[in-house]
Structure 1
Amino acid sequence: MPKIRSSADLRNNYNEISTFCHDYAEPVFITKNGKGDLAVMSIETYEALTARFDLYAKLQEGLDDVAAGRTRPWEDVRKELSKQWGLE
């Protein structure tokens, strides 16, 4: 269940909201005049979320390459990597 607090709560109970965000790695939704206004989360949670978005974007690029036929045989790639890393 999402945690919802008012902007006045954020102002008056910042430390409590910060502790919640760090302890539960979840956002707290802040309302202003009874309507949703902000989502507050710890930096760690934000970084994990953006890293996940980056990963999804890279996976989609790979799927698009496969769909468009932009692939190479594994053996060719393996040989190229072995040369790059001096493993040949």
Structure 2
Amino acid sequence: MYILINIRPVSDLRNKFPEVEETVITTNSPVFLTKNGYGTMVLMSIEQYSALTDPIEYALDEADSAAKESKIRYSGADVFRRVRERIDGAEI
């Protein structure tokens, strides 16, 4: 599958907003905006943003619920040590 990345100058937001909006909505993919030749921001639909953030929000809600039900607490150093151990032990 070939995915075309849409890159446009940020001035298109002012000058061609309906066209940019239509591109975001119909292609269901983000539009990357540049200013003076450098990337400056990404424009995406609310649905795209939700698809990106909803799983994270759900996981954080689950973590909050689990923390309320448990008396166990870990320091930041402990958390990062455990994450590093998992990463180091993961098979590639």
Q: TM class, shorter-chain normalised?
A: 0.5 to 0.7
Gaps in structure 2 of 5+ consecutive residues: 64-92
The CA deviation at 1:53 is: 3.0
Q: Does 1:20 align with 2:23?
A: yes
The letter of the residue matching 2:39 is G
TM-score between both structures, scaled by the size of structure 2: 0.56
Which residues of 2 match residues 6-85 of structure 1 at below 5 A?
Answer: 6-54=9-57
C-alpha distance in structure 1 between counterparts of 2:50 and 2:58, whole Å: 12
CA apart distance, 1:52: 3.1
Identity over aligned residues, as a percent?
38
Report the aligned-residue RMSD. Answer: 2.5
Give the Cα–Cα distance (whole angstroms) in 2 for the partners of residues 52 and 40 of structure 1: 20
The CA distance in 2 between the partners of 1:10 and 1:33, in whole Å, is 15
Q: CA deviation at 1:16?
A: 0.7
TM-score normalised by length of structure 1? 0.58
